[in-house]
Structure 1
């Protein structure tokens, strides 16, 4: 069994599955990712540095999918968004792409108090409020607290509606986060009927699959989009790569203050990613 050496000097077994996941996050197809991961494992020496493995992954990804050179890791791209308002608006855009009617967050009156929610979404006759949780580090885990809070808000809003205080009849809640969920959070959400969308949960409609299905990548997927540039784009309402790729570059430059040359560069790279 081969091992890799981490930055801190620790050794751990070579994880081919992790290499495959990294390749998939860079836009490489499943078959190519499996083949490349196997070839990398066979070719690198025992004890290879993880930084070296990552360089090889990037090189091999670009060879089979040149547009991979214009994109960063999807999980990292999501982490680069600011929690407010960038990721909140990104989630609203993503839900619209999947058939929800979405209203920007507002304050709803419950029986015992008022609650500011990130969005109200409606689909298939059900109306839910959306709570968005964002971590800058995608290695963090979203835990139980968000579910418990959402449960309490549901009860208060439903009681408020029956008492005539809330004008919106809320059927449930949906929590959307950019990280994985703890096992406890999953069990509680399932038991209480609270919708949860995390990086890889639920299996059939998680954040990653929802993004890839509609190509609703955050604009930070594009290499060269710094936090400051991303913030200026988001302030003008541009949070996805599609919005920049197919938008009016001159108008984007005018509205954001980003030089037109830079906007054109980002738009070109975004189109290469989307059309690969």
Structure 2
């Protein structure tokens, strides 16, 4: 391939220079070995053209990884799998709750808390040692959407109302989190840091972002499966099965879907491999 710069079109419609290093890093995050990554990179580079969409690049890389080893493809599609938790935000709230539970927190989802002025529905309440957290989850279906400064402004005002209520100090929350499946704008990050909100997004904070926590804990959403159909995934989500790990414990749901024993074994093998295959 020549050194000519290729312009790619992002999901937002913006144009950007194609980044080989970004593609390489995303492939390595899938757990693929160097020879597989090099093979995928060479194949994708041969098919580049001016104005190619990032979606086309993703689809080609995904197909090659799936052909090589399905578990690579499952981990590679993690970001897309988070979007597939929609269209409503509730499965995402459940997913964040499970992520915190497996991090050692006592967790409640969808609770009503009284504030000094009004009552508030809180997405996730988590407690561990001295940490008493209120987490608000902002799920976006649109990949081009960002979490702007209005969101932390709104959540901070709710948090202030809740902690202003005269309650026992051990019951009063002392941390507020804003969690999103997309990205925060610079203003949102600046405001959050200024007022003491903890912001967690797909790629923020660095090295402890949502994608890092998922890989580290091996807590992949059920939507990463390359073997389950969209209908089957939605059925499982409607039964509050949001993690691959949960399906391993409640595999009888696959029987409810009328899945054959042969296919069931393949699905369980896929998700079992994902749960074991976590980052060090």
The normalised TM-score by structure 1 is 0.82
Q: Mapping of 1:24-43 within 5 angstroms? A: 24=28, 26-28=30-32, 35=38, 39=42, 43=46
Count residues with an aligned counterpart: 269
Give the equivalent residue in structure 2 for 1:199: 202
Give the equivalent residue in structure 1 for 2:270: 269
Structure 1 residue 57 and structure 2 residue 61: aligned? yes
Q: Which runs of 5+ in 1 are unaligned?
A: none
Q: 1:6 to 1:154 in 2, by over 3 A?
A: closer
CA contact (8 A) 2:40 2:65 kept: no
Pairwise CA RMSD of aligned residues?
3.3
Give the equivalent residue in structure 1 for 2:259: 260
**Matched residue SS, 1:122:** strand
Q: Mapping of 1:42-191 within 5 angstroms? A: 43-44=46-47, 47=50, 49-50=52-53, 53-54=57-58, 56-58=60-62, 60-62=64-66, 65-69=69-73, 73-82=77-86, 83-162=88-167, 168-191=171-194
Cα distance, 1:61 vs. partner? 3.1
Structure 1 residue 241 and structure 2 residue 241: aligned? no
The normalised TM-score by structure 2 is 0.81
Cα distance, 1:106 vs. partner? 1.0
Q: Provide the rounded CA distance (Å) in 1 between the counterparts of 2:198 and 2:204.
A: 10
**Matched residue SS, 2:249:** coil
Bigger shift: 201-210 or 4-13?
A: 4-13
**Matched residue SS, 2:108:** strand
Cα distance, 1:21 vs. partner? 4.4
Cα distance, 1:172 vs. partner? 2.2
Q: 1:169 to 1:70 in 2, by over 3 A?
A: closer
Q: Provide the rounded CA distance (Å) in 2 between the counterparts of 1:236 and 1:41.
A: 38
**Matched residue SS, 2:176:** strand
Q: Provide the rounded CA distance (Å) in 1 between the counterparts of 2:185 and 2:216.
A: 25
Cα distance, 1:73 vs. partner? 1.1
Q: Provide the rounded CA distance (Å) in 2 between the counterparts of 1:52 and 1:221.
A: 19
Bigger shift: 62-71 or 89-98?
A: 62-71
Cα distance, 1:135 vs. partner? 0.8
Q: Provide the rounded CA distance (Å) in 1 between the counterparts of 2:5 and 2:105.
A: 47
Q: Provide the rounded CA distance (Å) in 2 between the counterparts of 1:45 and 1:55.
A: 13
